[in-house]
Amino acid sequence: MAEPDHFTQILFQKMQLVNPGIGDFELFEFQYGLENLVPRDGWETIVLKPVSEIESQINSHDFYESIQLKPKIYGKLVIDKQVEFMTQMLLTGIVKDYYPLEWINHHFFFDLRSFYFFHRTNYYNQVIESWLGGKPFRSFNKNQDKLRQLVAVGYKAFKEANVEIDCLFIDLLKKVINQNHRPFLIGIAGPTGAGKTEIVSRLQDEFAEIGLNFTSLEIDHFLTDRDEREAKGIDSLGKEALHFELFIQSLMELRKGNKITIPQYDFINATSSHSLDGSLKPGCSLGEVSPADLIFIEGNFPFLYPEVAKLIDLKVIYLTDDEIRLKRKWRRDIDYRKKYDLVYFINRYFREQFLMAEAAYIPQMQTCDLLVDTSKAEIWITPDLKRNVEI
């Protein structure tokens, strides 16, 4: 442990069993990635926690809520010390054979771009599986597995990996919609980067070909300013994070077949066109949504609340594992949009995946009609919906 080069060589070999993408690195490139992680007084100073303590920590709300999004040292934004220590500890434990690689891979994934470990969120529980019939409706080859050793993932590769499961999903929706009234509201929930916006766009194209007109209502346009949300903390995500009454009113008017105006959210600057009181800010403009046969509502939690859920005809979860979504967000939000500061992005992703799963996605999975899990390559549906689509 006192010999840095020897430590790095051992770690380089073992980490290829954690993430095969490490095998595409040269040793000196791997060393570059470790430079920002080397403890000030050397790797031998890292004290290893027992696995039971780590498991308790990574399943604790208090742990994630304590992660700082914008910690600074001498005025410079830095990685939260707990995020940094978790990776230093796991790397040290791998070299010392203290943490089994099987245990590491079960609870964590190693991101090639940031060079940090992130907790693997488990989105399933017995309640969800029972609600959705106890087993998947259909399963396919897990084509996303080939994406795990990439540094970043663009939509083209993501789409190709999901071809089979997306085709079945589209066919199932066609069967459901053909049996129902107009307008028909479809809520599509899922974590950021899961592919919701893209699949809605594809669905719209598919339904246009069979003569149905459509529109979409993106719940993110009803978000309040990011600074205001962060000032309230992660627990404010939900009604308090939205212009909620405006959202309810919009859904009710669309169900009546009326044209509506909605807030506009600036995704680059993370600001809303509306003040917290629901009034339009000076110099900002409204969006418009026209009535249609099909109305897609997509976002992080479109049917989390009963007031909204009762207005939606079909509730869908479109899910992708945290590891793949992070690779998508590197490409989309950092490379293309240049939306976040790099350090802030890492702190935020580490902090929010578990908390958002507990607060928004898992509760919606317990009430959804249809679940599309692109990473597991499975579609789950409720017994009632299964009876309808198999008629």
pLDDT at 233 (0 to 100): 66
d(CA 346, CA 67): 11
pLDDT at 216 (0 to 100): 86
pLDDT at 43 (0 to 100): 95
pTM confidence score:
0.89
d(CA 355, CA 236): 12
d(CA 173, CA 153): 27
Query: What residues does each domain of the chain span?
Result: 4-119, 126-389
- Going 300 to 306 to 307 to 313, the CA torsion angle's sign is positive
**pLDDT tens digits, 280-294:** 999 999 999 999 999
Those residues whose C-beta lies under 8 Å from the C-beta of residue 105, and which sit 6 or more positions away, are 18
Q: In CATH, which of 3.30.70.260, 2.60.40.2130, 3.40.50.300, 1.10.443.10 is domain 126-389?
A: 3.40.50.300
d(CA 224, CA 257): 26
pLDDT at 391 (0 to 100): 59
Letter string b/e over residues 325-364, b meaning 16 or more CB atoms within 10 A of that residue's CB: bbbbbbbbbbeeeeebeebebbbbbbbbbbbbbbbbbbbb
Alpha helices for 179-213 (secondary structure H): 196-209
Provide block-wise average pLDDT over 10 residues at a time, the chain (391 residues): 80 97 96 94 95 97 96 96 98 97 98 97 97 97 95 96 97 92 92 93 91 88 88 65 91 92 92 92 93 89 91 96 97 92 96 94 97 98 91 59
Which residue is it, tokens 């840095």? 4
Which residue is it, tokens 């663009």? 154
pLDDT at 228 (0 to 100): 86
Those residues whose C-beta lies under 8 Å from the C-beta of residue 205, and which sit 6 or more positions away, are none
- Going 123 to 125 to 131 to 134, the CA torsion angle's sign is positive
- Both structure tokens of 278: 């629901």
